[in-house]
Amino acid sequence: MTMPEEDSIRTGEGNLTDYVYLSPVDQYQQHFRRWLLLIVLLFLALFVTAALYYFMSDRTRYYSDILEHFKYGSIGSEPGGTIFTQVGGVLPPYLVFKTLPALCPDKLPGGYASLGLVFEPGHELPIGVSRRWRLGVEQVGLNCAVCHTGTVRQSADSKPQIVLGMPAHQFDLERFFRFVADASLDDRVTAESVIAKAEEMGDRVSIVQRLILRFFLMQRLKLVTVSLQNRIGPLLNGPLPDWGRGRVDTFNPYKAVQFNWNLKLLPHDELIGASDFPSLWNQKPREGMHLHWDGNNTSVDERNLSASLGAGVTPVTADHASLQRVHDWIWTLPPPKYPFAIDQSRTARGKDIFAQQCAECHSFDGRKTGTVEDIASINTDPYRLNSYTYALTGNQSELYPDSPYRFTHFVKTNGYANQPLDGIWARAPYLHNGSVPTLLDLLSDPADRPKQFVRGYDVYNQQKVGFVYDTPQARQEGFWYDTTTPGNGNGGHLFGTKLPLDQKLDLIEFMKTL
């Protein structure tokens, strides 16, 4: 018989609390309650642990093969942070992302592939889209490969060749963002429709995932999408020129997404900044050169990290180890060999012409290679240059504070950087804004360069060195590029334009070998 402690015996006051002893039943139940409490607490602890693990664990597939890692590995661009405050990411969760085209077929009849995303057999997601478990759901994000994987075809009926590290000239990033945002907000996209469609597509959706989708995720997705649209809407839906295939406005979304700038307050012209995706190979010799089209940074690492921000990475969600693997790979990645026949006799002659006409600014050992050519001198389209501002430079230096990743190399320039031309055959169309479809056209007087042409069509024009831009098939598949649109100007860079045609042909034949 357990007697309570003396000081707990209270008589004469508080009749409701008086007790003198415990009956065997009381003792049993007290004992039982203690055990029950213990068990409940244990279960609670287990539940909390499981919930914490479920919602806080951050895991992604590790690809030991660097090529697979580049194509499908996560760099941390998936939404992260906490379940209460989502940080980063530009894409909806895996199940939603996967089912959006099927749920809104009118918005994207050809699926993601029609936007130029490259699918490989055996992969349900395209190259450049990674998966990562974050915040209790399978998320998707973009990685480097989405903008740096191109396709090349010899003819319309040949199989596309996938070239890693090549500018994704066929990929329409702006339409991709537009579609994902529009479809995410579409009334047809609900937890129920996503689950039903995902199961139709062979996914098994767990009860927990259903609950998360039904009661939490879809609402948040809509809110996050609206929020994102509010920030970058002026870029995607405003009266600005389309970026078109193979191009991105690098710094304007950056201003809105990373720094929460109100884009509506910026000058209209500053919001026009689309330029070509660059190639990724041969980074080691580029270290110290002025990188980015306008040469605003001389550090490959900072440029890489900055570029990843455009894919949705944030300082708190970046996967630096993963980025480092990509860095190590592209550090020495050689440019792709020209995949077609080369006229060796022309090449020999062209080499000399290159040395005379181009090497000073465009060979790795050129005196001016990697330096910024003043806009007054090069005279190419200025919009991209003007879209990067002093104010942005200041903001960028505040990213990654107190960490080894803090940006310290960004500067405002007044021109465009002279680029090494390794793998130049695969970097068409040319100039920073891709306003000249082929090398041969680039060697023409601006007045003779194509005023309108198709870009994003991947059949190769071996004669002019660039992609076919003027056939009916190209018009059907590609983006109609108008050089008279602001930001799309094809003027400037007059080097080589006065050469005789034969020498131009020799030169571009040689450039196939770079």
Partner 1 sequence: MSNDVIFAPLKFRNLTVKNRLFRSNVSGRFDNYDGSGTQARINWEESFARGGVGAIVSSYVPVHIRGRILPNYAMVDNDDKIPFWRAVGEAVHRHDCKFIMQLSHSGRQRDNPGVENFRQKGLSSTNKKDSFHGLLCEAMSVQQIKETVRHFAEGARRAREAGLDGVELHASHGYLITQFLSSAINDRKDEYGGALRNRSAFLLEIIQAIRKEVGSDFHLQAKLNAVDFGNALYPWEKKGNTLDEGIQVAKWAEEAGVDAIHVSIGSIFPHPLLPPGGLPVDEFNWWYGAIISSGVRGYMNYTVCHFKLLRPILDFLWNRTKKSHPVEAVSSEYCREVKKNVGVPIINTGGYQDGKVIRRVISEGITDAVSIARPLIANRDLAHVLQSGRDLPAKPCTFCNRCLLNAPANPLGCYDVRRFNGDHDAMIAEIMQVYSPSQFSEQHVSVAGSSKE
- Nearer to partner 1 by C-beta: 28 or 53? 28
For the bound state, the minimum distance from the C-beta of residue 24 to partner 1, rounded and expressed in Å, comes to 5
SS3 150: strand
Q: Which one-letter amino acid corresponds to residue 423?
A: G
Cβ atoms of 506 and 350 within 8 Å: the answer is yes
Give the rounded distance of the alpha carbon of 217 from its chain centre.
23
In degrees, rounded to 5, the angle at the alpha carbon of residue 351 between the alpha carbons of residues 348 and 355 is: 155
The residue with tokens 């213990």 is 38
Helices (H) and strands (E) counted in the chain, each on its own, are 18, 14
Distance of CA 340 to the CA centre of its chain: 30
Q: Which is nearer to partner 1, 25 or 265 (CB)?
A: 25
Q: Which is nearer to partner 1, 1 or 341 (CB)?
A: 1
For residue 197, the minimal CB distance to partner 1 (Å) is 36
Looking at the Cβ atoms of 4 and 486, the one nearer to partner 1 is: 4
Give min distance, CB of 119 to partner 1, in A.
Answer: 53
* Residue closer to partner 1, measured from CB, 36 or 348: 36
> In whole angstroms, how close is the CB of 26 to partner 1 at the nearest point?
9
- Kindly tell me which of 26 and 68 has the beta carbon lying closer to partner 1: 26
Cβ distance to partner 1 smaller for residue 34 or 264: 34
Is the CB of 4 or the CB of 394 nearer to partner 1? 4
Q: Which residue has the tokens 């710094």?
A: 251
**Under 8 Å CB-to-CB from 312, ≥6 apart: which residues?**
77, 78, 79, 88, 89, 90, 91, 141, 142
Quote the CA–CA distance of 252 and 388 in Å, as a whole number. Answer: 8
Closest approach of Cβ 36 to partner 1, in Å?
Answer: 12
* Shortest distance in whole angstroms from residue 27 CB to partner 1: 9
Task: Tell how far CA 458 is from the center of its chain.
Answer: 21
Nearer to partner 1, 23 or 155 (CB): 23
Give Cα 90 to chain centroid, integer Å. Answer: 9
CB of 44 to partner 1, least distance (A): 22
Query: Distance between CA atoms of 275 and 294, rounded to whole angstroms?
Result: 10
Distance CA 478, CA 491 (A): 22
Provide, rounded to whole angstroms, the least separation between the CB of residue 12 and partner 1: 22
Percent of the chain that is helix, strand, coil (3-state, to 5): 40, 10, 45
Tell whether the torsion through CA atoms of 490, 494, 496 and 499 is positive or negative: positive
Q: What residue ranges bind partner 1 (CB under 8 A)? A: 1, 21, 23-25, 28-29, 32
Exposed / middle / buried, residue 387 (Cβ in 10 Å: 0-12, 13-18, 19+) = buried
Minimum distance from CB of 3 to partner 1 (Å)? 11
